[in-house]
Structure 1
Amino acid sequence: MQLFGRQHEREIIERVLAEAQAGRCGVLFARGEAGIGKTALLDYAGAVADPLGFRVVRAVGMESERQFAYAALHQLCAPLLKYDAALAEPQRDALATAFGRKTGPPPDRFLVGLAMLNLLAESAEERPLLCLVDDAQWLDRASAEVIAFAARRAHAERLVILVAARDTDDSEAAPFAGLPALTLPGLGDSDARALLAAEIRMPIDDALRDRVIAEAHGNPLALLELPRNSRPEILASGLDAHERPSVTRRMEEAFRHRSAELPAETQRLLLVAAAEPTGEVALLFRAASHLGIPRSAAAPAENVGLFRIDSLVRFRHPLVRSAIYAAATPSERRRAHEALAAAGDARVDPDRRAWHRGQAVLGPDADVADELERAGHRALARGGMAAAAAFVQRAAELTPEPALRTQRATLAAQAKYEAGAADEALTLLALAAQGPLSPFEAARLTLFRAHITFYLAQGSELPSEFLDAARALAPVEPRMAREAFLFALNAALIAGGDVRGVAEAALAAPPAPDPPRPLDLLLDGLVSVYTDGYAAGVSVLREALISFCDEEVDRDIVGHTDSDRWLWLANRTALALFDDDLMRDLAVRNVALTREAGAVATLRAALVSHSVALALSGDFSGAGELAAEAAAIARATGAAPLPYGDLILASWRGRAAETTALHRESIRGKEEGRGAEVTLAHYALAVLHNATGEFLPAMTAAQRAAESDELAVVSLALPELVEAAARAGRLEEARAAADELCVRAQASGTRWARGLASRARALIAQDRAAEEHYRDAIEQLTGSRAAGHLARTHLLYGEWLRREGRRRDAREQLRTAHDMLTDMGAAGFAERAANELRATGEHPRARTSAPGVVLTEQELHIARLVATGATSREVAATLFLSPRTIEAHLRSIFRKLGISSRRDLKELQL
């Protein structure tokens, strides 16, 4: 095909196609204004790919089809479904449910994404594959997120994904942000003139030609459409000099003008076609027949190039469709939708028929509203939250009965919120609040509004909104009221609100049911801690955590349990209790449950919790692997990163630049805050400064962390504060922190807590009693999972022995500390131990690097999984990659380690 200009863009496309043939996936996100030539560029890619042996599949976003979940994804994947037998069963089921071929709980969107990724990979194994996605700004949200997920995760496949979207402020193109971009500028002057000369055969006045080229700004569609909509005598003479609006608006006006000159029945046929985005020819003509429009009415529109009819109805450009639909009167649009609803088959596509009926009615209509709600529930069952929201919102608008309208508006708001449209959800809640509302419905709306506001703002005033909901729910729904109180407490902890005030308010919560749920025990334990002191709540909190570990999993229709949302808080609480066994068990359970459910968004937080548990146990490699996986999920899903795992890991590893950068980002705009993220950042800075021996800055950071109301952060910060203050000579501050730590240790009773308490006593001791405390600390910590603190205790004991003049004894402790800290990768503390060894007159021995050092954290994670006997397909499913990408990583791993087989990996004991 002939493509004027675009030399740079053509070279890029040809290069990514060539690289894909060699097994390196290519992804491009092309952006530009309407008419700039994005579709032509995709057509060029298809034309080049075909003789190279590529299979080409396409999807096109349509503005009026955005409410149909996975509609665009089905376009893209339909030709490839013969490969679904190769998918793992959860993936195959997720894809079948998304496409409505199977009933079941709504599939996790990113499990659908993994299914699509592997479907593309399976096809690409047979022959190279080119996926073309046009008008991405109009894709349904579910399809956009899944396609973007696959584009970010494809690496070693013979695959190219080209996505094109119009430049717009519309957030619908947001899922593709961050993909390799290709911005299309206007054509240069010479290319614009060549295009105009080739396509416009009528004589054009030179001055008018210059003006058209100048006004079009290199936009190919504008270059062609502007002169085509001028009379021949104007083209020849140039006598048309009135002021011109914008190029896009002029093109739409040109299309409207061209359609307005057509026969009335042709205009009506065009409107019906514009109102039905599927392009199904038979449906168009059935609807036309309903309106008394003959098939011959299509010919005039085809003759002037507004659309063509072959296997599908195809408009010349999306602007033609939008211009025709926008130019119609509301009554004309309703008649078109009414005809399409009458022509549709309720058995084959009930959702589309319902949508057209919803657009056809004027004013409330109970029957149509019922049909739209049923369509919304079907969309929800497929995991199409945005589609469900659109259907149920329209159902609410058409519902005449006030109470049912409120119910539907609430359901639509929930779907909007789940789909990520929190602002729109608040608008729908305002509609729902118009009532009438029962006391329960009013309280539930208040709770839901608090959730949305917390999601949007996370301000310190938000716990009061949860408290208002909890108080309102208490007399009508006690179980939900207790959960609302726990939401309020958690919001205060995260945002840095009045935690004690919220806990005191929660004393008025209804009694727990019999038997109590894990979340009921968690609420009661936290309330006891914040109203009566740490020791008062420990036993109930431990009972709650054990209940979370032992809870039977019974997921509801949407795949949730009551405790899913609280496992993150349960993990933090285990850390607050210094219970390393429960912390590990809860973290492992959380990851296992979320993996099993395919709940990728929840999995990210679960991985971070497990990463923190591993970091505090001294397994930095394992912690890094999980943190890397969580970060990869955040990138793939477009979610905000959770910095907690990275912060703790970077600080313990002694990575100054990374820790300070993460600290700066975490406290930006919140320097005086006491929320969990800010105070945890101060804790990380305290660890870093203690590692490098900068004890006064470490003390300052630890003090700020210890001011937190978050139990876990304080438990982490107190040992850092004792060490920093004692080593800085600030014994008063050290004693106060040690006293608080000892109170917590006595209440907790774990070996981890008792070991830290003994170490704190040793640091503040002024006599030979320090040695007894150090030895007890080492004994206690040896029986715990806190390997990092054990190594640091050997270091502190060795430093004390050296200051006491006992060099030989000091060397033994310092060697142990240096070896342990080096092996786990705590570079800052290891260097501190090395310096102390040198001060005793001994040069620290060089440590042999473990095999995993030469691997990236992702490669190490893959290597360890493969070493357990997992297949490439199983590893791919775990890490949300394709099997071919896993094989590519394995080749790199084998090369780096100098091995040649999976059996060799097992023998390395990574």
Structure 2
Amino acid sequence: MTEPITLPTDGPAHPRPPAVERDALCDTVRAHLLRAGGVLLTGPAGIGKTTVASELAAQLRSRGHRVLRCSPSPAERDSPFLGLIDLLVGVGEDTLAALAAHERTVLETTLLRSPQAWAADPLAPTGPLGGRDALVLRIAVRKVLSVLGAAAPLLLVIDDAQWLDRATADILKYAARRADADLWVLVTARTGSSGDDGGPADRSAGAQELCPQPVRRLPVPPMTAHEIAELLERHDQPSWPRPLVARLHRASGGNPRTALELSSALDERARRHELPGSADPLPVPESLRRPILDRVDALPAGARRTLVVAAAAARPTVELLRRAGRHDAAADLDTCLRHGILDVLPGTDHGVIRFLDPLTPMVLQSETPYAHQMAAHRALADASEDPVERAHHLARLTAGPDPAVAARLTAAASAARRRGAPRTAARLGRLAAEYTPAGQAHADIARRLTAAEDAIEAADLDFARQLAHEVLGEARRPAERVRAWNVVIDSCGQAMAEIADVFPEAVRDAGGDPVLLAPLHYRMSWREWMVGGSAPRAHTHAVRAAQLAARTGDRRTELMALTQQAALELFLGLPQAEVTLAAALAAPHDVHAMIHHNGPLYLKHRFHLVHDELDEARAELRTLVYRLRQRGSADSLSQCLIGLAQVEIQRGRCRPALTIARQSLRITEESGLSQGPAWYAVSLAETAGGSLSQALSAAETARRHSEDDDDRLFLPRALHAEGRIRLFSGQYGQAVELLRRTAALESAQGQRDPATRRWHADLAEALAACGAPDEAEAVVTRARRQAERLGRPGVLATLDRAAATVSVARGELGDGARGLEHAAARLRATGYPLEEARTQVTLGRVRRLLGDEAAARAAFAGALRIFTKSGARSWVSLTRAERDRTPDGSACAPEGGSWAEHLTTTERSVVARVAQGATNREIAAGLVVSVKTVEAALTRAYRKLGAKSRVEIARMVLTRPAG
């Protein structure tokens, strides 16, 4: 009974996953412009302002907009009217004919289109225009823009407005103040660090006045790590490993131009077999070094020396620089701030300093003489009260192994770990190992292993793996080797299938030692679940791990193993699951286990979910997310955000869910973690509160990541997400295929609690829609038996809806309607608003089939209220389209009014979207109809309105009220 939502069918078989940040920005800009007004895009050089503006201009041009554009350069800033000439270069004689004679003469002279222009030299510094002609020119330009806007929606794009000549800027500001409703302006302007000319750091001042009201200022965000990876691929850069892409992303600050130049420099090094190690700095090409050095050279000598000391500090602050002998630090930093080199973060203790360009410290350190560097480190070591900072500088000052320095670095790594800075702890631990004397081999190995474990917490998996293999090449003690093997296992993320040969080696090294076998059995439990696809075998390993850990006093492993055991018992529908979780939550606690995403606190929210306790689940996750933001691994934070996004969806809070899911994806991209789970969360959130086409792309991406990793734990979830989207879009055959795969994988793993993965009702509804009611009924019966045994009212309510759709598929409409009403009531009682509204939509369709139009419209209205309140965008569109259909499937009669009075509801909706510049495919998706239906409605509208083009329709809608 699910009506289709038209999805794009063209494009490659495996479309790229959506570029989350840039797509969201384009959507925001386009939505604001379509409501009229102006947008100012800001950001530093190379961040992609021009690319975003070009993409938006192309999109609007394809929708029938007229686009005028100028892109001034620094050399044109002092040449009057060059921007205006560039902007109006494509304006023809027919447009100028609408001007009065004197207006046209003045404009043509200014644009160098008349012989007088060359004689008068309008580009002379003073210009040819007196006071009266200057006013005439403004009026003439405004009239030209009005004429063009009357023929088609008009967009002005002023790219790099900081270089716009003053004469053109004054005219465009005049036009913006008196703009008609059909004039839209998109402006880009540079902010951030100053350019080669030593100009001000922020050149966007005044650019906002080029935009008509209402104007919105939007910064172009840095690219995510995933977007940087795509950018490098599009520009034929090498396929760098994920950790190296993450480093390029961090070093570039998400600036695409910088990332490309760094990648090219890295490629040159790679061709000479000089690829830097994970602890070595990236090569910075001259094209990036020179602007930084020019800005630094423009500083006074004192400010340059202060900047060198700040670049040497691990965490520079104003107070630290003062204690290090830079007595004029505040004044020097203020000078650097005005030159756009750094910023002093407000509201931070002692004035924390942030370099605006992440490359600046790297370039400064490489260009500063060695003696000056050592002097800076010596001063900072004496000045620092922080053990981490002091150890960092002492290490730089020491040549060769030194046991005292190694001990200081080890203590500093411990301090960084306690602060929740595992990446810093890993680097300090590695340094401690390097400074350990040759005669202390076991201390060296222990420090490297601890550093590797810190790197796992920091999601620096490549570094962790490197350290572990170093140890495996040297260590002979079983405990050291097994500990290293555990790091190798943990560093593979979701791709445990890639390390199948590791486990036999690790077990052989462990011998029969229960201390070493306990953590190995815990990891073997995960392998059996993720790769082997068997929850019962995984449960056996988890039980064994918990028993061994309890016997040997390894409380951390015991808690993690008990949590895994409880999760598997929940999945298997075993009655002792609650008791096992209680044992994992009992004292004594282990801090690491209690805030880990595989620990008992995280699992607790899943037990709340199977009992339909959504508010309690949300509270648990919010508390855990807060703690993880303070200290914790990127992996755990990402997984908790995924869980929180799912809970928010179930609670009917779609917009927050979308934001949270995108945060999780950003963390996984920047950390180089396995991305399948995060794309799965984005897919769910887009399905609920975003775009179904984006949701489908995200679900397909999640599935591909899980298939590439051979991750059988998340693969069924990705398949379920994709299957639901196909179901909602009316692609029932594909939905059945995907959901059957989900059912086969979950059943093979041993799932016996339908509340842990709720795919059963979706599969039954897809089967009913495909004409297989008997198979659908069998799915419902099996799931209902399990849900009743375990007491899962939320699952039973969705199964009631599925059973009702089976009745409808068999032609039993009355029974189906009564079943849907019962299901909606149960879903309301158990607190699932989106599922309730989805049931109301199906009920409305069935009531309409029964001929009860009033009851049908009441059901649609109830669903629409819930979807609107929840921010469920695609469902709002679907429900509105259903509500406006008549019993025979045609559109409802119009309510009258000007251009709309002779059009049907569908025709009015199509015409309104055409006026906004939407394509037929976009209109079809928004109205939940086929493209052919849109084309037919548009053809009828042309005939009724007497219009011959989309432009005429747009002008008609803009100038004549709909009634």
TM-score (norm 1): 0.54
Give 1:93's aligned residue.
none
Aligned counterparts of 2:457 and 2:793: Cα–Cα separation in 1: 43
1:706 equivalent to 2:891? Answer no
> Which residue of structure 2 aligns with residue 725 of structure 1?
767
In structure 2, the residue matched to 1:789 is 835
Match of 1:644 among 661, 669, 680: 680
**Number of corresponding residues:** 606
Q: Is the 8 A contact 2:468 2:488 kept in 1?
A: yes
Are residues 652 and 427 of structure 1, via their aligned partners in 2, closer, same or farther at CA, if it must alter by over 3 Å?
A: closer
1:524 aligns with one of 565, 588, 592: 565
How far 1:447 moved relative to its partner? 1.8
1:443 match: 482
Change beyond 3 A, Cα 1:40–1:715: closer
> Compared with structure 1, are the counterparts of its residues 366 and 619 closer, same or farther at alpha carbon in structure 2 (3 Å cutoff)?
closer
One-letter amino acid of the structure 2 residue matched with residue 590 of structure 1: L
- Other-structure match for 2:718: 681
Q: After TM superposition, list the pairs within 5 Å mapping 1:181-580 onto structure 2.
A: 273=371, 276=374, 278=376, 351=391, 355=395, 359-360=399-400, 373-374=410-411, 377=414, 383=421, 384-396=424-436, 398-418=437-457, 421-433=460-472, 439-452=478-491, 454-455=492-493, 458-462=495-499, 465=502, 476=513, 484-490=520-526, 493=529, 497=533, 499-506=535-542, 508-511=544-547, 513=550, 519-528=560-569, 534-535=572-573, 537=574, 539-543=575-579, 556=591, 561=594, 563=596, 565-566=598-599, 567-568=601-602, 571=605, 575=609, 580=614
**Kept after mapping to 1: 8 A contact 2:648/2:657:** yes
Q: Paired residue for 1:661?
A: 697
Instruction: Point out which structure has higher relative CO (alpha carbons under 8 A, 6+ apart).
Output: 2
Contact 2:527 2:538 in 1 (8 A): no
Q: Choose which of 614, 622, 627 in structure 2 pairs with 1:593.
A: 627
Give the partner amino acid of 2:833: A
Give the structure 2 partner of residue 780 of structure 1: 826
CA offsets per residue over residues 840-885 of structure 1, 9 Å max, x none?
A: 4796999xxxxxxxxxxxxxxxxxxxxxxxxxxxxxxxxxxxxxxx
Note if contact 1:130-1:160 (Cα within 8 Å) is conserved in structure 2. Answer: no
User: Shift of the alpha carbon at 1:422?
Assistant: 3.5
Query: What does 1:71-220 align with in structure 2 at a 5 Å threshold?
Result: 71-74=313-316, 78=320, 129-130=337-338, 161-163=355-357, 165=359
Q: Deviations over 1:250-305 (max 9, x none)?
A: xx9xx9xxxxxxxxxxxxxx98x388363769999xxxxxxxxxxxxxxxxxxxxx
Q: Which segments of 5 or more consecutive residues in structure 1 lack a partner in the other structure?
A: 66-70, 82-98, 100-119, 135-146, 174-247, 256-269, 285-343, 847-910
* Percent of residue pairs bearing the same amino acid type: 16
Q: Is 1:14 equivalent to 2:199 in the alignment? A: yes
Asked whether the 8 Å contact 2:642–2:681 carries over to 1, the reply is: yes
State the one-letter code of the partner of 1:522.
T
Q: Which residue of 2 aligns with 1:200?
A: none
CA contact (8 A) 1:395 1:408 kept: no
- For the 8 Å contact 1:366–1:399, the answer to whether it is kept is no
Q: Which residue of the partner structure matches residue 753 of structure 1?
A: 795
Distance 1:379 1:719, change over 3 A: closer
CA distance in 1, matches of 2:300, 2:333: 21
Q: Equivalent residue for 1:623?
A: 657
For the 8 Å contact 2:743–2:759, the answer to whether it is kept is: yes
Indicate whether 1:40 and 2:293 are aligned.
Answer: yes
Residue 729 of structure 1 aligns to a residue whose secondary structure is coil
- Cα distance in 2 for partners of 1:560, 1:357 equals 38
Opposite residue 649 of structure 2, the aligned amino acid is: A
Cα shift at 1:614: 0.9
Cα-to-partner distance string for 1:175-202 (whole Å, 9 max, x where unaligned): xxxxxxxxxxxxxxxxxxxxxxxxxxxx
Aligned to 2:727: 690
Q: What is the Cα deviation at residue 613 of structure 1?
A: 0.6
- Using the TM superposition, give the Cα deviation of residue 523 of structure 1 relative to its aligned residue in structure 2, in angstroms: 2.8
Deviations 1:721-748 (CA, angstroms, capped at 9, x unpaired): 1111112212244234323422342243
**Judging changes above 3 Å, is the alpha-carbon distance between structure 1 residues 482 and 41 closer, same or farther for their aligned structure 2 residues?**
same
Does the 8 Å contact 2:472/2:481 carry over to 1? Answer: yes
- Rate the CA distance shift 1:431–1:129 in 2: closer, same or farther, 3 A: closer
Unaligned runs of 5+ residues in structure 2 are: 1-72, 76-162, 164-193, 209-216, 223-252, 262-283, 896-963
CA contact (8 A) 2:692 2:725 kept: yes
**Alpha-carbon offset, residue 753 of structure 1:** 1.5
Cα 1:683/1:431, change in 2 over 3 Å? closer
Q: Deviations over 1:396-445 (max 9, x none)?
A: 5x242444443233224334545555444334334434666554444333
1:752 to partner: Cα distance: 0.7
Q: Tell me, in whole angstroms, the C-alpha distance in 2 between the residues paired with 1:461 and 1:547.
A: 33
State the Cα distance separating 1:370 from its structure 2 match. Answer: 5.1
The C-alpha deviation readout for 1:105-151, integer Å capped at 9, x for no partner, is xxxxxxxxxxxxxxx9x9999999348769xxxxxxxxxxxx99x89
Q: Which deviates more from structure 2 when the two are superposed, residues 754-763 or residues 598-607?
A: 598-607
| C-alpha separation in 2, matches of 1:433 and 1:636 | 28
Partner of residue 852, structure 1: none
8 Å contact from structure 1 (residues 698, 724) kept in 2: yes
SS in 2 for 1:583: helix
State which drifts further: 652-661 or 674-683: 674-683
**TM-score normalised by length of structure 2:** 0.51
Q: Paired residue for 2:906?
A: none
Contact 2:449–2:484 (8 Å) recurs in 1: yes
Q: Separation in 2 of the partners of 1:283 and 1:820? A: 61
What is the CA–CA distance in structure 2 between the aligned matches of 1:124 and 1:18, rounded to whole Å? 22
Distance change in 2, residues 1:481/1:809 (3 Å) = farther
Deviation at 1:671, TM superposition (A): 5.4
2: CA distance, partners of 1:12 / 1:703: 63
What is the alpha-carbon distance in structure 2 between the residues aligned to residue 845 and residue 639 of structure 1? Answer: 54
Counterpart Cα distance in 1 of 2:819 and 2:322: 68
Tell me the distance in 1 between the aligned counterparts of 2:806 and 2:838: 16
Letter in 2 for 1:561: M
Q: How does 1:811-850 map to 2 (within 5 A)?
A: 811-837=857-883, 838-840=885-887
Tell me, yes or no, if the aligned pair for 1:686 and 1:697 is still in contact at 8 Å.
yes
Residue aligning to 2:925: none
- For residues 14 and 678 of structure 1, what CA distance do their matches in structure 2 show? 53
Asked if the contact 2:381/2:391 (under 8 Å) is kept, the reply is no
Q: Which amino acid aligns with 2:731?
A: E
